[in-house]
């Protein structure tokens, strides 16, 4: 049961070198809305070369913030489907085990209809990824995504046992819930990818996202729950603060690595 600590980085040689220089072995790409998936697909030979050169494995690729269904008609947007399929192809070529995505809510449709949309979309991706050994996870962030809470997971993921969750406790906290430990306790078996991102809230107001270890998230019980559920995926550090930039940000990343790595079993 070995988790792998890594970090979000760029899809460049500099990105792989950055990960290696930190002493980490895993990289995540966030290839978000507005980016052409064909460009990343064309980079696959270089990505393979850099991965081998720096001994850094790509363990997660995701696409945040894109509309999967037209806001007016509620129809599936085929162009965006193709971007997702292209990125699953990249995952398959790199041996990357997880592709992360989200499903937008169409206001003109009922909750029932939106859940059916989500099931249809995620099933299409899961079916495509199966032979490529790529699992699909839905992120628990609200950026163009409504499949982010236990009530919705019960319906959508209940219909799709092969689909999992990309979990980030800060999203649970910043959406007004404090029960991230409860969510991990109940849904830990379905977590396919995990973000390490600190957060600070006070009196219901979000203040900042400092490094893990200088925030309000209870990382030790989180890690205990992940071990309980047999999680063996990536722990992906996500620097996410305008305060923690430059030299302070670099120090914060190293602090997070030191703090979290003490809780990672290496055998």
pLDDT in tens, 145-204: 999 999 999 999 999 999 999 999 999 999 877 799 999 999 999 999 999 999 999 988
Residue by residue, DSSP assigns 60-107 as EEE--S--SB-TTT--B-HHHHHHHHHHHHHHHHHT--EEEE-----T
Would you state the torsion angle of the CA atoms of residues 75, 78, 80, 83, taken in this order, to the nearest 10 degrees? 160
Give 189's DSSP letter.
G
Task: State the chain's mean pLDDT as an integer.
Answer: 97
Q: How far apart are CA 225 and CA 140, in angstroms?
A: 18
The pTM of this model reads 0.97
Beta-carbon contacts of 185 under 8 Å, excluding residues fewer than 6 positions away, are 225, 228
- Orientation angle between helical segments 219-228 and 180-187, nearest 10 degrees: 10
Cβ proximity of 233 and 2 under 8 Å: no
Q: Is 247 helix (H, G, I), strand (E, B) or coil?
A: helix
Whether 265 shows a pLDDT value over 90: the answer reads yes
Give the domains, in start order, of the chain with CATH numbers.
4-261 (3.20.20.150)
Express each pLDDT in 196-226 by its tens digit: 999 999 988 999 999 999 999 999 999 999 9
pLDDT at 1: 64
DSSP run (H or E) holding 4:
strand 4-8
Beta-carbon contacts of 71 under 8 Å, excluding residues fewer than 6 positions away, are 104, 106, 107, 108
Q: How far apart are CA 111 and CA 18, in angstroms?
A: 43
Give 2's DSSP letter.
-
């Amino acid at each position: 049961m070995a988790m792998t600590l890594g970090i979000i980085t760029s899809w460049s040689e500099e990105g792989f070198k950055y990960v290696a220089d930190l002493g980490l072995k895993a990289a995540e790409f966030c290839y978000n809305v507005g980016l052409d998936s064909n460009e990343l697909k064309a980079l696959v030979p270089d990505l393979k070369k850099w991965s081998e050169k720096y001994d850094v494995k790509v363990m997660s690729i995701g696409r945040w913030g894109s509309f999967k269904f037209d806001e007016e008609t509620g129809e599936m947007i085929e162009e965006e489907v193709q971007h997702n399929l292209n990125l699953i192809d990249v995952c398959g070529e790199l041996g990357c085990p997880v592709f992360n995505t989200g499903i937008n809510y169409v206001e003109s449709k009922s909750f029932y209809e939106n859940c059916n949309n989500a099931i249809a979309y995620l099933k299409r991706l899961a079916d495509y990824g199966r032979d490529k050994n790529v699992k699909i996870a839905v992120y628990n962030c609200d950026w163009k995504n409504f499949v982010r809470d236990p009530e919705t997971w019960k319906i959508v993921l209940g219909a799709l046992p092969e689909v999992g969750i990309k979990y980030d406790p800060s999203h649970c906290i910043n959406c007004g819930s404090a029960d991230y430990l409860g969510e991990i306790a109940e849904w830990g078996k379905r977590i396919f990818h995990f973000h390490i991102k600190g957060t600070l809230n006070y009196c219901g107001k979000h203040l900042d996202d400092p490094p893990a270890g200088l925030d309000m998230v209870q990382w030790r019980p989180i890690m205990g729950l992940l071990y309980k559920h047999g999680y063996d995926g990536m722990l992906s550090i996500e620097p996410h603060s305008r305060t923690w930039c430059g030299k302070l940000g670099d120090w914060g990343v190293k602090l997070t690595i030191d703090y979290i790595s003490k809780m990672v079993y290496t055998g």
